[in-house]
Structure 1
Amino acid sequence: MSWIEVIVLGVVQGLTEFLPISSSAHLRITSALFFEADAGASFTAVTQLGTEAAVLLYFAKDIWRISKTWIVGIWDSSVRGDPDYRMGWYVIVGSIPIGVIGFLFKDQIRSGLRNLWITATVLIVFALILAFAEYWGRQTRTLQRLTMRDGVVMGFAQAMALIPGVSRSGGTLTAGLFLNLTREAAARFSFLLAIPAVVMSGLFSLPDVFDPEGRAPTVAQMVVATVIAFAVGYAAIAWLLRYVAHHTLYAFVLYRVALGALVMALLMTGTISAT
């Protein structure tokens, strides 16, 4: 793997991880279009540790408050009515689906589901679902009104992002809108919900990313890619939270449809390979 590829993919990961346009799809497409080979699911998972570090830093106060309240609540029943205590459980329970499904279908996720025909189709289909959620959702519920049902539903929506093209943030945002959460509330919970899943996925994939049988990056290259993803991702978090507070998600819908159509055209003309 070249240094140019490492830097480009690090930037792409940071820019797209938190937007509802699928970072895994963009890494897959960028690799196929400019570098003629798939960087691999393990590379994606490890660079996501950088973007998740950005989440940990950006939401450090919230994470500390929620974690502390949850731990105290385990032993002290008087704090179990606190929204932060409940939020801790919502994140934990909501993280179970992606962990179980990811473990059971890890081989398919790393191989067959990375076919670009699947990626392009999923980009378009889930764009239309996101558009419907944006149109239909009443957006009357704030983060303080989140329930365990919301956590479970959004957890299963997050699990669908194991398919490149769905988008983890896009799936959880879509589910949140269908549950009548505001865009900002859905986005904030999406960030918190991603922490256990992405961190565990990245750590689990560390041994595979340096597999000498493949186009393995060096340790230095992985560190650089992850640091770039962290820096760009931190800026993307701040931008997205400001954006969703005042704008609809239709711009992302149009982008996803256009990108999916472009990838299909490139595949049909033989410009890029599906595998």
Structure 2
Amino acid sequence: MTFFEIIILAIIQGLTEFLPISSSAHLILPAEILGWREQGLAFDVAVHVGSLLAVMIYLRSDIAKLTVAWFSTGFSRQQTTESKLAWWIIVATIPGVIFGYLMKDFIAENLRVAIVIAITTIVFGLLLWYADITAKQTKKIENIGLKEAVIIGLAQAVAIIPGTSRSGITMTAGLMLGLDRESTAKFSFLLSIPIILGAGLFSVLGLLESVAKVNWNELFYGAAFSFVAAYLCIFLFLNWISKIGMLPFVIYRLVLGFVLLYIVLG
């Protein structure tokens, strides 16, 4: 890849991993539309590592509290708010792991195409808009229980379909369950940590089995630019989402989806 392609793809990953607009869609599109060659497994791992580091550093205080609470009271009868939330993150992660493992080959062979991305971008964008304008948004993150964790986890499992957006569909589910925007966004970001980590480790195993040469400069710059873009994205999103709502992202998804349909079908 050229240095320009590295920067663009890394920034796309960093921004779209946490915005409700689908990172997988945007990483596929340059190859589909601009004719760029696939970035490869090693680069994909690198930019996800950058995004993972960004969310872990930004939410380090929450992660520390959840971890300490889970190990100290997570297995006792006297659960704290933090230990319960840690359990709900674990519960919500399970469907995505199972669905991703069972369906990864089918998805890779059949659904990583522009027409699927266009349709899912539009459909799930409209669903996000509906959730945002109709939901009560009265619950906080500490009000999440087993039901909410299971439903949000099942929603996250659907995000393996390109164009769906992991953050988008988990926030949609959270809003429909009555969570306010900031709470559903924060839970979505916390939920991203184990799923990105698991996917990254799985990809690393595939990378170790590969005989392809690795360009370490590409990986370093990819991870670095992805980290910066993701950190800024998380900071701005959590500070602005209560004020701006989901409409700007819905409009973006609709425009992107119809442009893709025009390109594919035109």
TM-score bucket of the superposed structures, by smaller chain: over 0.9
Q: Which residue among 238, 244, 251 is the counterpart of 1:241? A: 238
1:127 aligns to what?
125
Q: Give, as a single letter, the amino acid of the residue that structure 2 aligns with 1:36.
A: W
User: 2 CA distance for matches of 1:49 and 1:201?
Assistant: 10
Query: Across the two proteins, how many residue pairs are aligned to each other?
Result: 265
Question: For residues 42 and 114 of structure 2, what CA distance do their matches in structure 1 show?
Answer: 17
Aligned to 1:152: 150
Tell me which amino acid in the other structure corresponds to 2:63: I
Q: CA deviation at 1:54?
A: 0.6
- After superposition, the Cα gap between the structure-2 partners of 1:200 and 1:56, relative to the gap in structure 1 and judged at 3 Å, is same
3-state SS, counterpart of residue 159 of structure 2: helix
Corresponding residue for residue 6 of structure 2: 6
- Please, which of 165, 174, 177 is the counterpart of residue 175 of structure 2? 177
Which of residues 252, 256, 260 in structure 1 aligns to 2:257?
260
Equivalent residue letter for 1:258: V
Q: CA deviation at 1:29?
A: 1.0
**Retained in 2: the 8 A contact 1:6–1:221?**
yes
Matches within 5 A, 1:3-82: 3-39=3-39, 43-74=43-74, 76-78=76-78, 80=79, 82=80
Larger mean CA deviation between 51-60 and 38-47 belongs to 38-47
Aligned to 1:273: none
- Name 1:272's counterpart in structure 2: none
Shift of 1:25: 0.5
Q: Would you say the 8 A contact 2:42–2:214 is kept in 1?
A: no
Q: Distance in 1 between matches of 2:68 and 2:55?
A: 18
Instruction: Please name the residue that 1:109 is paired with.
Output: 107
Give the drift of 1:42: 6.9
Q: What secondary structure sits across from 2:179 in the alignment?
A: coil
User: What residue identity is the alignment partner of 2:21?
Assistant: I
- Match of 2:38, SS? coil
Give 1:227's match in structure 2, choosing from 224, 245, 258. Answer: 224
Unaligned runs of 5+ in 1: 270-275
Unmatched runs of 5 consecutive residues or more in structure 2: none
Q: Which residue of 2 aligns with 1:139?
A: 137
* Cα distance, 1:265 vs structure 2: 1.2
The counterpart of 2:247, out of the listed 247, 250, 263, is 250
Tell me how far 1:220 sits from its aligned partner: 2.6
Tell me what 2:82 maps to: 84
8 A contact 2:49–2:223 mirrored in 1:
yes
Distance 1:217 1:130 in 2: 39
1:16/1:22 contact within 8 Å kept: yes
Q: Distance in 2 between matches of 1:85 and 1:242?
A: 25
Normalising by structure 1, we get a TM-score of 0.90
- Shift of the 171–41 alpha-carbon distance from structure 1 to 2, 3 Å rule, reads farther
State the shift of 1:24 in Å.
Answer: 0.8
Deviations along 1:206-234, whole A, 9 cap, x unmatched? Answer: 24458456xx7523312221221111100
CA distance in 2, matches of 1:117, 1:56: 34
Identity of aligned residues (%): 35
TM-score normalised by the chain length of structure 2 = 0.93
C-alpha offsets along residues 34-73 of structure 1, whole Å, 9 cap, x if unaligned?
3433335774454222111111000101100110011011
Structure 1 residues 43 and 166: alpha-carbon distance in aligned structure 2, compared to 1, 3 A threshold: farther
For the Cα contact (< 8 Å) 1:27–1:44, is it kept in 2?
Answer: no
Contact kept in structure 2, 1:140 and 1:182, CA below 8 Å: yes
- Greater CA deviation, 179-188 or 34-43? 34-43
The 3-state SS of whatever aligns with 2:111 is helix
